[in-house]
Chains A and B, each alone.
Chain A
Amino acid sequence: MKSNVMKHRRPSPLTVTLGILLALYALSMTVLLLWGVFTALKTQEEFRQNVALPPGGAPWDWAWGNFVRVFENFYVPVTKIVNGTAVQQNIWVEEMLLNTLLYTVGGAFIQTAVPCAVAYVTSKFRFRFSAVVQGIVIVTMIIPIVGSQASELELLMRIGIYDTIWGNWIQKFNFLGMYYLVFFAAFKLIPDDYAEAAYIDGASEWRVMISIMLPLVATTFFTVMLLKFIDFWNDYQTPLLYLPTHPTLAYGVFRLSTEPIQEMSTVPMRMAACIIMAVPVLAVFIVFRNKLMGNLSMGGIKE
C-alpha cells in the first residue's frame, strides 16, 4: 500500500474542511456551466419567464436550433484598409474557425518546437554559450518588463508584419518561458549513450535529434503542445491587439459578449456561441486529460 493513502482512519478536521470546500467549488462550477448549457437551449421568450431552471418540456423540444442559428448569424464586423480606404467587412464563423486553426495549431507547434530544439542543443552540447541561453530564460522569467506592447506594435507596423497570421507566428518563434526548462529537464534525464551509439553508426546530428532524441521526449512534446493549443484557442487578447482583422472564435465571442450584434443579442444565443466554442477544447481535454494534468516537472527557480 502506498504510504500516502490512508485507510481505516477517521478523517481529520483539516481533511473534512478541505473536502467541504472542494465540494462547494465543484458544485459552483457545475451549477454555472449547467446554467450556461440550459440557457443556450431556451428561446428568448422562455428565458424571460424562466431565468434559472432547466428548459421546460422534453429534451427534444428544447431550442437546439440556437446552435444552428449561431452558425448562420455569428459574424464580427472589422475595418480593413483596402487601397488606402477603410472598408467595413463582416467576418463569418467559417473564416473565424479557419483563423482559429491557423493561429492555434501553428502557434502551438512553433511555441513547442522552438523551446524543445533550443533546450536539446543547450542541454546536450557542451558549449559555454548554453549557460548564456539558460541565463536568458531565467532572467526574462524573473524580471518583469511592463508595457512593451506599444513598442512591439510600432515595430510590427514598421516592418510590415502587423495583422498577419504569419507575422504572428514569427512573434511566437521564441524559446523563452517555463517550457524551455521543462524540455531542458527532460533532455538532461536522457543518457548520452543512445546518441553516442548512433554517432558510431554514422548518423548525422539532424538524424540523432529527430530519430532518437525527439521520440524520447515525445510525451512531453505532445503535452506541452496540447497545453499551448488550449491557451491559444482560448486567447482573445492577442488576436484583438495584433490580428484585428483576423478574428478567431475567442475574439468573436469576446466581441459578442461586449458589443452584441443584432441577430445574436439575446442571452440564449450568446450562451450557444460560448458552448460551441467550448466543445472542441473540452473534447481535447476529455481525451487527453491524464496527459494534460500529469506532472510536467521543471523544479523551482531557487538558487
Chain B
Amino acid sequence: MKRKTKRAIFYWLILALPLLQFAIFYIGVNFNSLLLAFRQYDVLSNASSFVGLDNFAQVLRDIRQMEYLHIAFRNSLLLCVVNLLFGTGLALLFSFYIYKKRLFAGAFKIFLFMPHIISAVIMVTIYKFFVDRAIPYFVEQLFSVEMSGLLANPDTVFGTVLFFAVWVSFGTQTIMYTGAMSGISDSVVEAARMDGITPLREFWYITLPSIYPTIVTFVIVCVAGIFTNQMQLYSFYGQNAEYKLYNIGYFLYSETQSASGSGSYMRYPYLSAFGLVLTCIAVPLTLIVRWAMNKFGPKAD
C-alpha cells in the first residue's frame, strides 16, 4: 500500500469517531432542538405533535408579559457589563502587577487562581454561611450594631451574589493575560522605560495593545455567555432562588433540570423555542462585538 493511502486511512480513522460524535451531539442535538421547538408533547403518553409557531408565540408572550423574565434579562445584561468592567478590567490590572513581578506577585497569582481549584459549590456554601452568620456577628462584636445577614437582607442580597460572581472570576483570565504579557518584547518595554514611561502609560500604550487578541477572546466569550452565565445562582439556591435574583442562565438551567426530573418531555419544546429565541439575540450580538473590537481596536503594528 502506498504511503499516501496509509496516511489517509490513519487520518480518517482518527477523525471518524470524533466527527460522528460531533454529528450526533452537536449538529444532531441542535437540529433536534429546532424540531422540538415546533412540537408539543402530550402529558400522559409523551407522544408529540406538530404545533407550528405556538411555542415561539408563547415564549414571546412570556418575554413581554412575565415580570420575572424582565428581571432575568436585566440581571443577565447587568452581570455581563459588570463582568466586563470589573471582572476583565481588574483581571488585566492584576495580571500587569503579576507580569511585572511586584511584591508577592507569585502568592497573589495563587490566591486569584484558588476559586478555580476549589469547587464553586464549596466556595458558595462557605460564603453564604459566612456572609449570613459570621459578618453580622463581627459587626455586632465590633460596633455593637445589630444587622441581618447579607443574603437574608432583601436590600443586599443581589449585590452580595453579584460580588461573589466577580470575586471568583479572576483566575483563568489572570493566567491567560499574564501568559500573553510575558510574550511582549523586552526591548520595546526597555526602550519605553528609557524614555521615562510611567507604569500606567506602559499598561495603556504597550501592554494592552500587545495582548489585544487575548482580550478580544475573553470579551467575546463573556458576551457569548450572556444567556448562559448563571452568576452561581443555582449553587446558592438550587431551584429556589427568588424571582428578583433571576437571570436567563439560571432560568434555563433550573427549568431544564426540573423538566428532566419530572421524567416527562412536556416542557422541552418550550425550552428549545426559548433557547432558539435567545440564540437569535446572542449570535448577532457576539458577532457585532467581535467585528467592532477587531475594527476599532489597536492594530498589531
Enumerate B95-153 residues with CB–CB distance to A below 8 Å: 96-97, 99-104, 107-130, 133-134, 137-138, 141
Q: Which residue of A lies closest to B114 (CB)?
A: A29
In the complex, whether A302 has a CB less than 8 A from a CB of chain B is: yes
Contacts of A289 in B (CB 8 A): 110
Q: Which of A287-303 contact B (CB under 8 A)?
A: 289, 292-293, 295-297, 299-303
A32 to B259, CA, bound (A): 35
A302 to B297, CA, bound (A): 11
Decide if B137 touches A144 in the complex (CB within 8 Å).
no
**A118 CB–B CB distance under 8 Å:** yes
Given the complex, which residues of B lie within 8 Å of A271, measured CB to CB?
Answer: 125-126, 129
Q: From residue 219 to 243 of chain B, which have CB atoms closer than 8 A to chain A?
A: 220-221, 224-228, 234-235, 237-238, 240
Query: Is B267's beta carbon under 8 Å from chain A?
Result: yes
Q: Is B33 an interface residue (CB 8 A)?
A: yes
Which of A54-62, A63-71, A91-99, A229-237 is the interface stretch?
A: A229-237
A148–B190 CB distance below 8 A: no
B287 within 8 A of A: yes
Chain B min CB distance to A219 (Å): 15
Cross-chain contact A302 with B294 (CB below 8 angstroms): yes
User: Separation in Å of the B160 CB from the closest CB of chain A?
Assistant: 13
Nearest A residue to B138 by beta-carbon distance?
A52
Cβ B101 vs Cβ A5 within 8 A: yes
Pick from B99, B107, B123, B186 the residue with the most CB of A within 10 Å: B123
Q: Is the CB of B279 within 8 A of A147?
A: yes
Per the 8 Å Cβ criterion, residues 123-180 of A in contact with B are 125, 127, 129, 133, 136, 140-155, 157, 170-171, 173-176
Q: Are B137 and A52 within 8 A (Cβ)?
A: yes
Please report the C-alpha to C-alpha distance between residue A22 and residue B294 in the assembled complex, in whole angstroms.
Answer: 31
Q: How far is the CB of A94 from chain B (nearest CB, A)?
A: 19
Q: How far is the CB of A31 from chain B (nearest CB, A)?
A: 8
Interfacial chain A residues near B138, Cβ < 8 Å: 52
Instruction: Judge whether A190 is part of the interface by a CB distance below 8 angstroms.
Output: no
B203 within 8 A of A: yes
Contact A150 B256 (CB under 8 A): yes
Is A144 a contact of B102 with CB atoms below 8 Å?
no
Q: Does A121 contact B (CB under 8 A)?
A: yes
Q: Is B274 on the interface with A (CB-CB < 8 A)?
A: yes
CA distance A241 to B254 in the complex (A): 10
Q: Are B213 and A299 in contact (CB under 8 A)?
A: yes
Task: Name A162-215 residues within 8 Å CB distance of B.
Answer: 170-171, 173-176, 199, 204-206
Closest CB in chain A relative to B36 CB, distance in Å: 5
Chain A CB within 8 A of B260 CB:
yes
> How far is it, in angstroms, between the C-alpha of A171 and the C-alpha of B21 when the chains are bound?
8
A155 is contacted by which of B32, B226, B227 (Cβ under 8 Å)? B32
Instruction: Indicate whether A3 reaches chain B with its CB closer than 8 angstroms.
Output: yes
Give the complex CA separation of A35 and B133 in angstroms.
11
Evaluate contact between B216 and A258: CB separation under 8 angstroms: no
Chain B: interface size category: 35 or more
Q: Is the CB of A153 within 8 A of B256?
A: yes
Q: Does residue B217 face the partner (Cβ distance < 8 Å to A)?
A: yes
Known contacts A4-B101, A145-B279, A154-B265: A173-B21 contact under CB 8 Å: yes
Q: Verify B26–A277 contact, CB threshold 8 A.
A: no
B182 interface hit (Cβ, 8 Å): yes
Chain A interface extent, by class? 35 or more
Residue of A nearest to B10 (CB): A205
A35 to B135, CA, bound (A): 11
* Cα distance, A76 to B5, chains bound together (Å): 54
Minimum distance in angstroms from B41 CB to a CB of chain A: 9
Counting CB contacts under 8 A, is A261 at the interface? no
In Å, the complex CA distance between A141 and B199 comes to 34
User: For the complex, is B25 an interface residue (Cβ under 8 Å from A)?
Assistant: yes
The reply to whether A257 and B124 contact each other, CB–CB distance below 8 Å, is yes
Q: In the complex, which residue of chain A has the Cβ closest to the Cβ of B293? A: A302
Q: Are B203 and A14 in contact (CB under 8 A)?
A: yes
- Point out the residues of chain A lying under 8 angstroms from B271, CB to CB: 147, 149-150
User: Cβ of A254: which chain B residues have Cβ within 8 Å of it?
Assistant: 121, 235, 238
The winner among A14, A120, A143, A157 for most chain B CB atoms within 10 A is A14
Q: Are B126 and A3 in contact (CB under 8 A)?
A: no
> Does B208 make an interface contact (CB < 8 A)?
no
Q: How far is the CA of A157 from the CA of B32 in the complex (A)?
A: 13
A278 contacts partner chain B, Cβ-Cβ < 8 Å: yes
Is the Cβ of A148 less than 8 Å from the Cβ of B30? yes
B44: interface (CB < 8 Å): no
* Residue A244 at the chain B interface, CB threshold 8 Å: yes
Q: List the 3 closest pairs (A to B, CB-CB), nearest first.
A: A147-B275, A300-B213, A234-B119
Can you show 18 pairs from A to B with CB atoms below 8 A apart? Answer: A15-B102, A18-B96, A21-B93, A29-B115, A33-B114, A51-B134, A121-B11, A127-B11, A144-B227, A147-B271, A149-B271, A150-B256, A154-B36, A174-B25, A176-B26, A241-B256, A258-B238, A293-B113
A sample of 12 more A-B contacts (CB under 8 A), given A30-B111, A257-B235, is: A13-B200, A15-B102, A18-B94, A129-B15, A147-B252, A147-B256, A233-B119, A234-B120, A244-B260, A281-B117, A282-B117, A292-B113
